């Protein structure tokens, strides 16, 4: 396939490099990293073995042109530029697969690409971009992908197989919305509390930052699970997310909370993507990861006091960061 990667940070670079190594014609749409990747390619420095690829590099989507598959790995805070970036890449046969976190991204893509071309993928991976064109995978890598607002099609399995052939575990979801809520069971507590921890435990419990509070360091996953009160908050948030998903008729088992916590204990100390954004002064992905799930929980009639308090603190911190 001819594949365009839109958003070439850690996530886009990793999966794009995997597909490039598997023999696909992969084009990276780049901004600040253009010269580094054009000259030196992409290095994946995996504990399982390093590898290097040289994808095609472009500064504008017109340089890439029509593609068979478009992978979107932009931060959701940049979704406003999709109407400018996507049209030059899209032909009648193109599939557009958003690998972004949270809820609502498929509808944003569909507004430009069309619902029939839109797919979504949920990524279970821990990655660090350690330099331009250099990515360190720490754990995982699996993708669960599905169609936007419809059952899997023939092309769903074809794209899933292409990703699997690149060395990435990939499965097809019958219900993409369900897959997204299952991922939120991890994303909301570890992304949210990782950032909110800088405001302190009292702020998270009370749902507000007191005037004059000095922000401390953010909390990686191992710290959150080593402290009994933080671990309790992790679990309470997970159970609220599970209840909200189940109230919408989605199969999000309560056992997922134990599974996600134990899986995270096995990881090395890891700072979730929202934590890294906050530490680097970037805009936080609040909408799809926190605010929209809270809105849907309220619409389903599920009380989520911990999620409400977390959203309130994160909103305050986004204004301070």
Q: Which residues are known to be catalytic?
A: 183
Give bridge partners of residue 121 from the DSSP assignment.
145
The answer to whether the beta carbons of residues 196 and 218 sit under 8 Å apart is: no
Cα separation, 132 vs 124, whole angstroms: 22
Give bridge partners of residue 257 from the DSSP assignment.
none
Which ranges of the chain would DSSP assign to H, the alpha helix?
A: 10-21, 34-40, 61-64, 82-85, 105-113, 154-165, 176-196, 201-206, 221-226, 228-247, 255-265, 273-279, 286, 292-299, 305-320
Cα separation, 169 vs 180, whole angstroms: 17
Cα separation, 200 vs 190, whole angstroms: 15
Burial label for 266, CB within 10 Å (0-12, 13-18, 19+), is exposed
Closest CA to 85 of 146, 12, 162: 12
Indicate the DSSP class of residue 219. Answer: -
The total of other beta-carbon atoms located within 10 Å of residue 12's CB is 23
Closest CA to 60 of 30, 38, 97: 30
Closest CA to 102 of 315, 302, 290, 311: 290
Cα separation, 160 vs 168, whole angstroms: 9
Instruction: Name residues whose C-beta falls within 8 Å of residue 185's C-beta, 6 or more positions apart in sequence.
Output: 238, 241, 242, 245, 252, 256, 257, 260
Cα separation, 127 vs 280, whole angstroms: 16
């Amino acid at each position: 396939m001819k594949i365009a990667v839109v958003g070439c940070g850690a996530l886009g670079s990793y999966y794009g490099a995997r597909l490039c190594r598997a023999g696909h014609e992969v084009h990276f749409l780049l901004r600040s990293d253009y010269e580094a990747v054009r000259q030196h390619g992409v290095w994946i420095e995996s504990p399982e073995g390093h590898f290097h690829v040289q994808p095609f590099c472009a500064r504008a989507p017109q340089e890439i042109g029509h593609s068979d598959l478009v992978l979107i790995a932009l931060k959701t805070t940049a979704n406003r530029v999709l109407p400018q970036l996507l049209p030059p890449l899209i032909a009648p046969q193109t599939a557009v697969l958003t690998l972004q976190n949270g809820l609502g991204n498929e509808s944003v893509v569909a507004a430009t690409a069309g619902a029939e071309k839109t797919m979504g993928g949920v990524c279970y991976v821990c990655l660090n971009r350690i330099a331009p064109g250099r990515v360190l995978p720490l754990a995982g890598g699996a993708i669960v992908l599905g169609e936007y607002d419809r059952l899997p099609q023939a092309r769903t399995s074809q794209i899933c197989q292409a990703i699997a052939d690149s060395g990435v575990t990939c499965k097809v979801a019958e219900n993409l919305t369900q897959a997204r809520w299952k991922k939120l069971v991890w994303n909301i507590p570890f992304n949210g509390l990782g950032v909110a921890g800088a405001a302190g435990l009292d702020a998270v419990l009370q749902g507000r930052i007191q005037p004059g509070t000095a922000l401390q360091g953010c909390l990686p996953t191992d710290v959150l699970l080593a402290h009994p009160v933080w671990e309790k908050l992790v679990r309470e948030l997970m159970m609220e997310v599970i209840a909200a998903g189940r109230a919408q008729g989605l199969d999000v088992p309560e056992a997922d909370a134990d599974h996600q916590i134990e899986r995270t204990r096995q990881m090395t100390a890891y700072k979730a993507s929202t934590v890294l954004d906050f530490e680097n002064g970037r805009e936080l992905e609040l909408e799809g990861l926190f605010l929209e799930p809270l809105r849907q929980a309220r619409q389903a009639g599920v009380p989520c006091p911990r999620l409400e308090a977390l959203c309130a603190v994160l909103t305050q911190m986004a204004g301070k960061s």
